[in-house]
Structure 1
């Protein structure tokens, strides 16, 4: 990450921290706070989800996100989103408005339409200078580009003043990935697990829909 990129990232993090502090001081629950923060990150083209996402081999965007509500032992994941402006908000809606744990691709987007969440054209997510050039490079070397630092994905964990803890992840995966590829970052268990305010990496079996497997 170059110096200019680092400075932009610092400014964005300060902006997100301001949102965080303001929301927590307003007694907004941790899970809603982190939806707000990740939404802000998804709108900014600096990172690797939402606007500025990595591209598939077909020059399209497929995003994924999760959200975890620690006290209520709930978690939900969405995959393969191509027109949902804020994937993390859809994950939250799947948690609150559906009986399911995972929802993906056209079914997830149809659910999004029914819930009235903002949709955009797939081109909205593509930043020509950033995305298209990297995809061209990946194709030239016939490779999937995955050597990204962790800071390029949107992952957040917080505890509010009531002791409630929440987490969220949003990503678009790898540059030049196959369409339909599902990444590990938003999976509950292998990567994203929140228990007793401790994040850990440990494979776990999926339990009842919308109940976190810890």
Structure 2
């Protein structure tokens, strides 16, 4: 059972999101919050597998709450849920350690897929958000050349098996899928992923995947 905390300052939105999550027998909403500070406190109390956070909330907003949750409860994956798709929000959310970014206007199935993906250790961006990230990565040849050189230098610190794991992370695979692909136990894959994130000096799988893309380890179709 995937245990979820839901935070949004609008009661009707919470009710709608809760109804979508309840449609999946494998997901349970264990707590709800109306602001970021309450979300942090309830995460510490309930230790959910996933925290689904609205970005704009009174007091502590969802972005600040995401950063605090990742700092204090690193085993809780964070999904940002919002009506806003500006690049600044995406960049900050991913920089603060969020593993997923979904739009409230998206297909309800994206929410279920996103919660399941991040609970399994993968990353999930809604298709509209993913297209914006890829577009950003594909612009500015001079800037991209600098990023490519930096990314390849970072990959030089990885062992061959770590490069294999990173390539599969870059393709969006969860730990269980990587384990099957490489014929490893899932615990070993988790250790490899943690080591890769530490060596690359990044906070989450999305940031690692971007480095893999910039270095040419995976392509945009991955």
The structure with more helix, counted as a fraction of residues: 2
- Normalising by structure 1, we get a TM-score of 0.24
Whose RCO is larger (CA < 8 A, sep 6+)? 1
- Normalising by structure 2, we get a TM-score of 0.24
